[in-house]
Amino acid sequence: MAMEKPRSRRSHEVRKYTVSLPKDIAEEIRERVGPTGFSAYVTRALEELLERERLAELAAAFDAKYGSAPDEEISEAEEVFRKAREKWARRRATNEKS
């Protein structure tokens, strides 16, 4: 089943590189994107990885400058996210039944 081709958020000059991937990963990507779209899929994955790494660097710089958030505040934030995930899951389950 081929999925819609992911689109890169960037529009710029493209260069060709050769990379080695484990066969099972490459085959699963190909199954998802069909005969075209492999490069766009990999580009999107790398963009997301870079975004997460930049966010981690920003968080580390923030912690270095201002100190880490207190454990109690982290626990409160985790509880808010847990409740939001549960609410979202209930909403999805309701929509899937409709």
Do 73 and 63 fall into the same domain?
A: no
CA distance 22 to 62: 36
The residue segments making up the domain with residue 80 are 69-98
Please work out, in degrees rounded to the nearest 5, the angle formed at the alpha carbon of residue 54 by the alpha carbons of 23 and 52: 45
* pTM for this prediction: 0.64
In the chain, at which residue ranges do the beta strands (DSSP E only) sit? none
Do 56 and 77 fall into the same domain?
A: no
**pLDDT digit string (tens) for 33-85?**
998 999 999 999 999 999 999 999 999 999 999 999 999 999 999 999 999 99
Do 51 and 88 fall into the same domain?
A: no
What is the token pair recorded at 14?
A: 């493209």
Do 20 and 39 fall into the same domain?
A: yes
